[in-house]
Amino acid sequence: VQAVFRSNLSHLLELMGSGKESLIFMKKRTKRLTAQWALAAQRLARKLGDVRRDQKQILVHIGFLTEESGDVFSPRVLKGGPLGEMVQWADILAALYVLGHGLRITVSLKELQSNLGVPPGRGNCPLTMPLPFDLIYTDYHGLQQMKQHMGLSFRKYRCRIRVIDTFGTEPAYNHEEYATLHGYRTNWGYWNLNPKQFMTMFPHTPDNSFMGFVSEELNETEKQLIKGGKASNMAVVYGKEAGIWKGKEKSLSILHKYMEVHGTVYYESRRPPEVPAFVKNHGLLPQPEFQQLLRKAKLFIGFGFPYEGPAPLEAIANGCVFLQSRFSPPHSSLNHEFFRGKPTSREVFSQHPYAENFIGKPHVWTVDYNNSEEFEAAIKTIMRTQVDPYLPYEYTCEGMLERVHAYIQHQDFCAAPGPAPLGARAPQSPFVLAPNATHLQWARNASLAAGAWPPARSLRAWLATAGRACTDACLDHGLVCEPSFFPFLNSQDAFQKLQVPCDSTESEMNHLYPAFAQPGQECFLQKEPLLFSCAGASTKYRRLCPCRDYRKGQVALCQDCL
């Protein structure tokens, strides 16, 4: 059956059920964004032309909202708890629905069981039953619940699962045996899924799929209106919890010298707000009112927490400049409580790395807050600069629909594994050394692995310098790391073509392989396909990195990927 774009979301709102504060928040958002989704669907339909889109039956099981996992979020929705996750789930539901797929939504174990066809009371059904869904979107909580309640079907069908995982899961943490042996121990990893089955909030590492969310888009008239209506001395502080103000007195007093400081910190009427007296605190605002506040403000300022939420993108989309602190040394699961136990070694160099690296000046300023002069100078310059509202394409409704469409039509983790690791027995070599002898590219006459996605012709492979991760090595060349190309490169032939002098070649389990170790002139191939990883570096190795091009404003997709 062909999927047909939908522009009326009232049935989706019914499907979302009711009761919980979290669902109410999500439904309000979906309702408010209906017109934007409808317009985006029209535009994407035009762009895709008559491309065939199969209708999928999809189950969305939002594990963290189930009572069984404690549902710690719903009671906090009205108190400044994390709303980012709810923003993202609301947008995922809208995208799947607008794309025209069959949708079921569950937020309790009971509903999950009845949708999976597990007989009540039979917690662990030993038989494999047919699964009435092509795809299941869930989170780590939901994954655990499915493992417990699907019996043998879980193994059989886990390739259909997609895990919404805000901060991402790196391959070294995902591979159970490897993680256990090498100290990549966390509360969350060990699922042995294809790392691309994890879907993140921002494009952290291309080892995972970038799911994202949307921010409201302004039309030209609104943009002009906003630009005219800005109060150049108005700053809004990022963060809804009182804790973020602690220990920031010095920067705050500098900021207050120049600007009126607004906050949206939750407080209870019985207790005075725990923010400095000069702050105009609005309390936690409903989302539309928060947007209105951003429209008037010149500056949106972060004091280090929360990490990587939606709000800075909304601020920039509403014409604010986002000022944030540089982290030196970077924060990570090794040195920061917040990231501890998360299945990633990613180092975070500022509060919002996406804003810093993908947007940057004039919209985003990342400065050292300990350096008062630098901080003060930034504020003064920002007050004088005019910026246009800006929203990266990948965070528009159209951009999200385009990306989710591409994933649904092309990602298949149930098919027999792609090209087997070639090991030392590489048959015919599919690539050649580029004319400038710096990297490998796909040979024009080589056959293109049929059905492979992204298409292999976008492969560009580089030998990274020692200590450089493939994520960074590819970005250095204006490209992005593409883990699905690793199997093509995992061969002696690739090293040979790159004229790497291998004295010996070994095949082992190591998330940094394929790689070259300079001291012994040793080449190493990857023995375990699940461990292919863009993330990760060691000064011992020069990693062999598969890169690809990407669409401007849509880093998840290569030029030929639609």
Q: How many CA atoms lie within 13 A of 422 on its CB side?
A: 20
User: How far is it, in rounded angstroms, from Cα 301 to Cα 198?
Assistant: 30
DSSP 444: T
311 lines the binding site for ligand UDP (CB under 6 A): yes
In the list 97, 137, 290, 488, the residue contacting ligand UDP (rule: CB under 6 A) is 290
Minimum distance of ligand UDP from residue 29's CB (angstroms) = 8
Distance (Å, rounded) from C-alpha 454 to C-alpha 560?
A: 8
Q: Identify which range of 242-250, 269-277, 306-314, 473-481 contacts ligand UDP by CB under 6 A.
A: 306-314
Q: Which of 284, 401, 479, 558 binds ligand UDP (CB under 6 A)?
A: 284
Distances (CA, A) of 8 to 104, 391, 411, 441: 17, 25, 27, 45
306 part of the interface to ligand UDP, by CB under 6 A: yes
303 token code pair: 């004091």
The residues, any chain, with a CB within 8 Å of residue 79's CB and separated by 6 or more, are: 266, 284
* Residues 212 and 166: beta-carbon distance below 8 Å: no
Residue 97: phi, psi to the nearest 5?
A: -70, -45
Does residue 396 sit in helix, strand or coil? Answer: coil
The span from the CA of 276 to the CA of 99, in Å, is: 47
Contacts with ligand UDP, 31-70, as mask; x by CB under 6 A = ----------------------------------------
d(CA 399, CA 177): 37
Nearer to ligand UDP by Cβ, of 16 and 311: the residue is 311
Name the residue nearer to ligand UDP (CB basis): 16 or 494: 16
Q: Closest separation between CB of residue 451 and ligand UDP, Å?
A: 37
Residue closer to ligand UDP by CB (options 12, 214) is: 214
Identify whether the C-beta of residue 57 lies closer than 8 Å to the C-beta of residue 102.
yes
CB of 444 to ligand UDP, least distance (A): 46
Return the HEC string of 117-130: CCCCCCCCCCCCCC
Nearer to ligand UDP, 28 or 104 (CB): 28
CB of 511 to ligand UDP, least distance (A): 29
Tell me the DSSP string of 273-296: -SS-TT-EE--SPPHHHHHHHHHH
Q: Is 514 in the site for ligand UDP (CB under 6 A)?
A: no
24 binds ligand UDP (CB under 6 A): no
Whole-number minimum distance, CB 282 to ligand UDP, in Å?
7
Burial of 14 by CB count in 10 Å (0-12 exposed, 13-18 middle, 19+ buried)? Answer: exposed
**138, 162 Cβ separation under 8 angstroms:** yes
Total residues interacting with ligand UDP, rule: CB under 6 A: 15
Q: Does 175 bind ligand UDP (CB under 6 A)?
A: no
Under rule CB under 6 A, which residues in 105-164 are in contact with ligand UDP? none
Candidates 142, 206, 309, 399: give the one binding ligand UDP (CB under 6 A): 309
Segment 313-342, which members bind ligand UDP (CB under 6 A)?
314
Out of 53, 56, 240, 363, which residue is the one contacting ligand UDP (CB under 6 A)? 240
Smallest separation (angstroms) from ligand UDP to the CB of 240: 5
The amino acid at 167: F
Return the SS3 of 257.
Answer: helix
Answer for the pair 462, 473: CB distance below 8 angstroms, yes or no: yes
Q: Residue 100, interface with ligand UDP (CB under 6 A)?
A: no
Site for ligand UDP in 244-273 (CB under 6 A): 264
Instruction: Identify the residue among 171, 206, 212, 310 touching ligand UDP (CB under 6 A).
Output: 310
In this chain, which of 285, 433, 452, 475 binds ligand UDP, going by CB under 6 A? Answer: 285
Residues that bind ligand UDP (CB under 6 A): 82-84, 87, 240, 264, 284-285, 287, 290, 306, 309-311, 314
